[in-house]
Amino acid sequence: KNQVEQSPQSLIILEGKNCTLQCNYTVSPFSNLRWYKQDTGRGPVSLTIMTFSENTKSNGRYTATLDADTKQSSLHITASQLSDSASYICVVRGGGADGLTFGKGTHLIIQP
């Protein structure tokens, strides 16, 4: 069964600090991996999309990494801001017709 596991479940850090969120997946075959940011009560917004041949991709202060061999990804947030408070969801697309598999997300809180 395709699964995406994210850790930690929740995280609290001080404004200005860096943090790293983890994503492990068992989706096979693998097509691509996405990170989304979801503010409370709103729809997710795409941050990055990576294929198996890409091992890093940046979007401003967000940098995602992918290790297709170990089936792990991480999202690093640099110099966090209060507006980074949100849930970060890892999503893996397999090669089959069953669409996307979502992780349950990491709930990140940035404290001033």
Partner 1 sequence: DSGVTQTPKHLITATGQRVTLRCSPRSGDLSVYWYQQSLDQGLQFLIQYYNGEERAKGNILERFSAQQFPDLHSELNLSSLELGDSALYFCASSVGAGIVLETQYFGPGTRLLVL
Residues forming contacts to partner 1 in the complex (CB under 8 A) are: 31-32, 41-46, 49, 51, 89, 91, 93, 97-105
Nearest to 95 by CA among 1, 37, 31: 31
Report the residue number, 59 or 72, with the smaller CB distance to partner 1.
59
In the complex, least distance from residue 93 CB atom to partner 1, rounded to whole angstroms = 8
In the complex, least distance from residue 100 CB atom to partner 1, rounded to whole angstroms = 5
- For the CA atoms of 35, 38, 44, 49, what is the dihedral angle to 10 degrees? -10
Report the residue number, 16 or 95, with the smaller CB distance to partner 1.
95
- The span from the CA of 18 to the CA of 20, in Å, is 7
